[in-house]
Structure 1
């Protein structure tokens, strides 16, 4: 068997173990691009796309990598990285080896600076005509920062990549950085936070934030006014372009063609491009293939609907910023029932505060329920422990009376623990009352059951799907 084949087999075996221990999205981002190069004795060498890639693996997955490699090659096994480092945009990449223990000297990224002269005759589409000197207002909202961006599992990859870009714009493998996701999930906040951080770290860099719609309008105006060269030159001298909602390029072939050339110039010059979209590049329609291929060059990171804890943290952060205090149960109630997007979540809180002020009423749970019925789903129907218990038992096809019994059969214990967990999450019932309802058990049993469910959700994909299915049924009831 050849060395290459042995190397590939060993790494594939490692990947099988790694895949079972991390989320699919993380595996696709951080492990699928890795190539196995060679095995020399007990040393496995793998190739990663960039120095930042290596640093991320060492910071977040070093223990998992160490265990899996030792599992394949024995206790004396070592892992080395072969890092692709670009010397310049016009040259072939070279590689450097770094051992996994972090003691190896990392080769610094090589680049050839591209001089940019700010021509006084370039017209700036963001300022009044006739301005003699190129002075760029980055068009950024100063309120959008990393400090007030709440991180959670739903956005951790996008936030981490965005922060890395802000520390080294144009100098990471995340170029372009594409942030995608549904409406109101924080895409614009994140990319503007990147822009603001870059301006803070590098005041002399030219940063511009522009919506795709605005860019298209400017292009049409430049055609009418015969100033297309000024339009292109303006964007080509930028150090960082942040373009929002690139899905709006769909069907606009001439505008796509112009942006394609601007993109190429910026990328080849080591400048940073940041994009947002409502879908990943592979699902975008109406865009020419050569532009889509450019969007796929860097990293595409999704923004998902935030989980309950993240939604509560978002509300608490907003309350703190506005100098407002609300009872914990009100925050929990709003966050529990509004799970579409962050914008709707904050809108509901603003509405609640307005109603409280106008009616001169103190905000409590009853007021929240009555005033936010237009926002909150299912507010007309209070979920009871009985209903949760019946739903869970029907789902697992076990008798309700068995869940209240003393039996320790695995399927009964599972149904009982999930019922307790959901009762705690979806009702205002105390732990003591929940325990009493399930056959006279005490509150410590409920706490243990809830913790067990949380642990299994994090480690058992099948169990997690059970809980999610039941939660969907609860929300639709």
Structure 2
């Protein structure tokens, strides 16, 4: 008998609470840290009634995803440690019977006094999303999809650099759609890939997978770029989009790039996405960064009574850290640590500058991004960024694209491979060629040199 199986046999009958504690360690490796942290970690065992275990989910969308993807595996793993477990029920707070809820609340308070529970993750709803000019289009479309009024665009793709709020908007749309009684399936691209591959290669039958992904009213796939380059999976995604939309369903996708920038995307799926509604989220400007900081400080203050940051400190961070919302969240977490170390004193401007010294320096260096260069170059040549990224050798597009590549090399700290990815998956040698070609031409063409200097000035002036 294997060591793991023997350990399970020896610990049989450990009780539901201990069994859940042991199972959680296994679920991290099975589902991955991101999925576990978002959906399984907030799960709380509140009662055991004649072999039926009642768990409280952290949110409505978490309940849906747990019931779709986790509950059967959770039950099987729990029974390996505690054979008396017969059934798992995952409920929301208001769905738990009143007498059970009262007992659970008493236990939670008792546990909190002994070991305070960490703050719950930010609820990813429209109410907690900080909107501004850089994300307003995506925010508005996501609201329409959540409300079920976006039927005129059955497929929606939202794209941005990592950390700009795509996942937040998808979750918010899912929350709203579920609240309105729609059937929603939320997956990541990696989950779509793994579930399909498992059905195809292990079970030799993908019919159950097809039924699962084509059944909902709204199918949401985050990190859709994860399936790029996987031919069979892309074909299945293409068929899923066609079948689900044919019968009136909707699909919302999020990726790090638009259709032209997704490396490895096959032609059929690329054409399908080009015909979809597309929203781009840019990195936040200073007013939106300030808004995000306010929201994150308020969130942490709810779990840490007295936590506060001086307004001038937040102004300084918003002005100097030209980064994404995710990185601003990290900055606030750093300030929370500073606040606790100082004994609960309001974080001052000086204290914030000291605590975030490395982040502030990094944020200042990253003020000019590849995305910003693309935006300004496209505007200079009177075209859209999407046109600039087209894979074509037409001089009217190829030359501006080379100019943008050259300036990205000169004005940003991005590596050559990263710049290549930002331009739709070009190899780093292509970026080197464009850089050297434009540099050589500017040495012999004073007009081009002046043009490059003018574009560079426009990039630096861009807010």
TM-score computed with the length of structure 1 as normaliser:
0.51
**Which of 167, 170, 176 is matched with 1:191 structurally?**
170
Equivalent position of 2:318 in the other structure? 335
Equivalent position of 1:211 in the other structure? 188
* Partners of 1:464 and 1:148 in 2: CA distance: 37
* Partners of 1:468 and 1:222 in 2: CA distance: 49
Equivalent position of 1:374 in the other structure? 358
* Partners of 1:247 and 1:287 in 2: CA distance: 8
Alpha-carbon deviation of 1:142? 8.1
Equivalent position of 2:238 in the other structure? 260
Change (3 A) 1:142 1:469: closer
Contact persistence 2:320–2:364 (CA under 8 A): no
Contact persistence 1:173–1:298 (CA under 8 A): no
Equivalent position of 1:166 in the other structure? 146
* Partners of 1:320 and 1:333 in 2: CA distance: 18
Change (3 A) 1:295 1:356: same
Q: How does 1:87-166 map to 2 (within 5 A)?
A: 125-128=69-72, 143-166=123-146
Alpha-carbon deviation of 1:173? 2.5
Change (3 A) 1:157 1:379: closer
Which string of whole-angstrom CA distances, capped at 9 and with x for unpartnered residues, describes residues 32-91 of structure 1? xxxxxxxxxxxxxxxxxxxxxxxxxxxxxxxxxxxxxxxxxxxxxxxxxxxxxxxxxxxx
Alpha-carbon deviation of 1:215? 1.1
Contact persistence 2:219–2:252 (CA under 8 A): yes
Alpha-carbon deviation of 1:380? 11
Equivalent position of 1:358 in the other structure? 341
**Gapped runs of 5+ residues in structure 1?**
1-122, 382-462, 473-477
Change (3 A) 1:125 1:349: closer
Which string of whole-angstrom CA distances, capped at 9 and with x for unpartnered residues, describes residues 305-337 of structure 1? 111001101111222233343211011111112
**Which of 344, 360, 363 is matched with 2:327 structurally?**
344
Alpha-carbon deviation of 1:378? 6.9
Change (3 A) 1:212 1:136: farther
Structure possessing the higher radius of gyration over alpha carbons: 1
- State the number of aligned residues: 263
Contact persistence 2:296–2:332 (CA under 8 A): no
Equivalent position of 2:460 in the other structure? 469
Alpha-carbon deviation of 1:302? 0.3
**Gapped runs of 5+ residues in structure 2?**
1-66, 77-88, 93-120, 302-306, 366-453
> Any idea what SS the aligned residue of 2:252 has?
strand
Give the ranges of 4+ consecutive aligned residues of structure 1 lying more than 3 Å apart after TM superposition: 123-127, 135-138, 378-381, 463-468
* Partners of 2:250 and 2:91 in 1: CA distance: 17
* Partners of 1:268 and 1:379 in 2: CA distance: 46
Alpha-carbon deviation of 1:288? 1.2
* Partners of 2:261 and 2:226 in 1: CA distance: 13
* Partners of 2:91 and 2:265 in 1: CA distance: 29
Alpha-carbon deviation of 1:244? 0.7
* Partners of 1:467 and 1:227 in 2: CA distance: 56
Which structure has greater helix proportion? 2
Q: How does 1:39-78 map to 2 (within 5 A)?
A: none
Q: Does 1:312 align with 2:290?
A: yes
Contact persistence 2:323–2:363 (CA under 8 A): no
Which string of whole-angstrom CA distances, capped at 9 and with x for unpartnered residues, describes residues 371-419 of structure 1? 11121127999xxxxxxxxxxxxxxxxxxxxxxxxxxxxxxxxxxxxxx
